[in-house]
C-alpha cells in the first residue's frame, strides 16, 4: 500500500477474526482494528472529515486556530492534521485523562487547557463553548455536534466493514460522541435492514457523574436513538477484564474502551448461541493500549487495576 | 420482591446518602412509584410528565430501558436497576 502523505493513509483498516473468543463456527466475533490508523485511533477518520469539511466551507484557512473539547484521541488526530496543514490547535481536556495523551498532544504542538475532573467531558464541552464565545476567530469543529463526525463513518468505516464481511449481523462500538455508531449504523441499516447496532457505554467512577443536578447532563447533538438496536452500560471492571482477555486469547493489545465494546459483543454472541442463530459480530478496537500504560490497567490484579482507574476517563 | 436500585451521587440526598436501596414493582413505573413512597421527592428528578427525564438514563441489568420498554419495562426478582445521569464521552 502506497500513499502520497500520512493523511491519505487514514482508514482501510484490517478486520480480523477472533477464533478463540468466538463461541462457534456459526457465531463469530470480528475485530475492526482502528488502532492501525495514522495516529493510532479511530478518531483519525472524524478529525480528517471535520477539517476537510471546514476547509470546503471556507471556515478554515492556513494559520487559523482550531479549538476542540476532547478526552484525547480526537485531539491527537486533529493535532497531526493541523501540523501538516498549518493550523494551530487548542484542546480542552478533562484533568482526569492519561498522561500519554497529554504528552502526545504537546509533542504535536497543541496547546492544552484543562477542565475540572468532576463532570468529565461535560465540563470540557462547557469550557470549550465558553472559550469559543470569547474568541469568535477560533474555529470549534465540535465533534459532538458536527455531522462530518458521523459522516466519516458512514462514508468509510461502514462500507469497509460490509465489503470485508457481507454476512455481518451485528455492529458493536463504544458510545462517546456517538459518531461511530451513528455513521456505521446508518450505513449498515440502509444496506442490511436487519443488522443490529449495539452501543457499549463506559460506566465510569462516581467522580465523572459528579454533576450538580441532573439537568446538567449531556447528550451529543448528533445522537439519534433511532439508529441503535440497544445500548449497554459496561463497568470499568468488565471493560478491564475483557481488555486483558483480548490480549491473552487473541494477542490484541487494545485500549480499555475496546474491552467495553468486546464485553457487549460477547454478550450478543451468547444470546445468538442461546437463540440458535447465526451471527457475524463486528466490534471496534478504537485504539491500542499504549496510551493507557501509565494508568496501571495492565498490571497486577484486576481489582488493583480497577482501583487505579477509579475516577479516570478511560474511553 | 426486592429489587436493588443503584442511586447516583446527585440523587443520594433523597436516600440519606445510600448508594443502593431496595424497591419493588412488576414494572419500572411501579418500581419508581415505590421508590417515591420510600424516598419522597426522588421521582420528580427521574420522571417528568410521565416520561424518563432527558438527561437521566436507567439500566435494567446494564441494558438501557429506553430500548426495552421504557417505563413499562417488566422487572423480575433479582434484577438490578441502575440510575445514572447522561454524560459525554469522546
Domain range list for chain A = 6-41+157-301, 44-140
Q: Would the CB atoms of B87 and A212 count as touching at under 8 Å?
A: no
Domains contained in chain B, CATH given? 3-85 (3.10.20.30)
Tens digits of residue pLDDT in A23-64: 999 999 999 999 999 999 999 999 999 999 999 999 999 999
- Contact yes or no for A170/A143 (Cβ under 8 A): no
> H/E/C letters for each residue in chain B?
CCEEEECCHHHHHHCCCCCEEEECCCEHHHHHHHHHHHCCCCHHHHEECCEECCCEEEEECCEEHHHCCHHHCECCCCCEEEEEECCCCC
Residue carrying the nine cell digits 431496595: B22
DSSP letter assigned to residue A146: -
Residue in chain B nearest A92 by alpha carbon? B90
User: What's the whole-number mean pLDDT along residues A246-271?
Assistant: 97
The reported pLDDT for the residue numbered B90 is: 53
Q: What ipTM score was computed for the predicted complex, to two decimals?
A: 0.93
Catalytic choice (A43, A152, A196, A291): A43
User: What's the whole-number mean pLDDT along residues A170-193?
Assistant: 97
Q: How far is B86 from chain A, CA to nearest CA, in Å?
A: 5
**What gap in Å lies between CA A172 and CA A153, rounded to an integer?**
13
Q: Would the CB atoms of A144 and B90 count as touching at under 8 Å?
A: yes
**What gap in Å lies between CA B75 and CA A25, rounded to an integer?**
34
| pTM of the predicted protein model | 0.95
Q: How many CB atoms lie within 10 A of CB A160?
A: 19
Which of A192-196, A283-287, A290-294, B29-33 shows the lowest per-residue confidence on average (mean pLDDT)? A290-294
Find the farthest-apart pair of alpha carbons in chain B and give their distance in angstroms, rounded. Answer: 39
- Contact yes or no for A169/A195 (Cβ under 8 A): yes
Residue in chain B nearest A220 by alpha carbon? B88
- Return the half-sphere exposure (C-beta side, CA atoms, 13 A cut-off) of residue A171: 31
- Please, what is the average pLDDT of chain B? 94
In this predicted structure, the answer to whether residue A210 has a pLDDT above a threshold of 90 is no
CATH number of A6-41+157-301: 3.40.50.1100
Same fold, A6-41+157-301 and A44-140: yes
| CA Rg value for chain A | 19
Query: Closest Cα partner for A178 from A208, A150, A155?
Result: A150
- Contact yes or no for A70/A53 (Cβ under 8 A): no
Instruction: Kindly list the residues of chain A whose beta carbon comes within 8 Å of any beta carbon in chain B.
Output: 70-71, 74, 119-122, 124-125, 143-144, 174-177, 179, 199, 201-204, 206, 208-220, 225, 228-235, 315
- Top residue of A233, A242, A258, A315 to mutate, by most chain B CBs within 10 Å, is A233
- The CATH topology of domain A44-140 is Rossmann fold (3.40.50)
Amino acid at each position: 500500500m502506497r500513499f502520497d502523505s500520512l493523511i491519505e493513509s487514514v482508514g482501510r483498516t484490517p478486520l480480523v477474526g477472533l477464533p478463540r473468543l468466538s463461541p462457534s463456527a456459526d457465531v463469530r466475533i470480528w475485530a475492526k482494528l482502528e488502532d492501525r490508523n495514522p495516529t493510532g485511533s479511530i478518531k483519525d477518520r472524524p478529525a480528517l472529515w471535520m477539517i476537510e469539511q471546514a476547509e470546503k466551507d471556507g471556515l478554515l484557512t492556513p494559520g487559523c486556530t482550531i479549538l476542540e473539547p476532547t478526552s484525547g484521541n480526537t485531539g491527537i488526530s486533529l493535532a497531526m492534521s493541523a501540523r501538516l496543514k498549518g493550523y494551530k490547535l487548542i484542546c480542552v481536556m478533562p484533568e482526569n485523562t492519561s498522561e500519554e495523551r497529554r504528552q502526545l498532544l504537546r509533542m504535536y504542538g497543541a496547546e492544552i487547557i484543562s477542565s475540572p475532573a468532576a463532570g468529565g467531558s461535560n465540563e470540557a464541552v462547557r469550557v470549550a463553548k465558553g472559550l469559543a464565545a470569547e474568541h469568535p476567530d477560533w474555529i470549534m469543529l465540535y465533534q459532538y455536534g458536527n455531522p462530518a463526525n458521523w459522516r466519516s463513518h458512514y462514508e468509510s468505516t461502514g462500507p469497509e466493514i460490509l465489503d470485508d464481511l457481507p454476512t455481518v449481523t451485528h455492529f458493536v462500538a463504544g458510545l462517546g460522541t456517538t459518531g461511530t455508531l451513528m455513521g456505521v449504523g446508518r450505513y449498515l441499516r440502509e444496506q442490511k435492514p436487519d443488522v443490529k447496532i449495539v452501543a457499549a457505554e463506559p460506566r465510569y467512577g462516581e467522580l465523572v457523574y459528579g454533576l450538580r443536578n441532573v439537568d446538567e447532563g449531556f447528550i451529543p447533538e448528533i445522537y439519534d436513538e433511532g439508529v441503535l438496536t440497544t445500548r449497554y452500560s459496561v463497568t470499568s471492571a468488565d471493560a478491564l477484564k475483557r481488555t486483558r482477555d483480548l490480549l491473552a486469547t487473541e494477542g490484541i493489545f487494545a485500549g480499555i474502551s475496546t474491552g467495553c465494546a468486546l464485553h457487549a459483543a460477547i454478550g450478543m454472541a451468547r444470546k445468538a448461541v442461546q437463540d440458535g442463530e447465526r451471527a457475524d459480530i463486528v466490534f471496534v478496537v478504537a485504539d491500542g493500549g499504549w496510551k493507557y500504560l501509565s494508568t496501571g490497567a495492565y498490571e497486577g490484579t484486576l481489582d488493583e487495576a480497577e482501583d487505579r482507574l477509579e475516577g479516570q476517563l478511560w474511553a | 420482591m426486592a429489587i436493588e436500585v443503584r442511586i447516583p451521587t446527585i440523587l443520594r440526598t433523597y436516600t440519606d446518602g445510600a448508594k443502593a436501596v431496595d424497591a419493588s414493582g412488576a414494572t419500572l413505573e411501579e418500581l419508581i412509584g415505590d421508590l417515591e413512597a420510600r424516598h419522597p421527592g426522588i421521582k420528580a428528578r427521574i420522571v417528568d410528565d410521565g416520561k424518563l427525564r432527558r438527561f437521566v438514563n436507567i439500566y435494567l441489568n446494564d441494558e438501557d430501558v429506553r430500548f426495552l420498554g421504557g417505563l413499562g419495562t417488566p422487572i423480575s426478582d433479582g434484577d438490578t436497576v441502575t440510575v445514572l445521569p447522561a454524560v459525554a464521552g469522546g
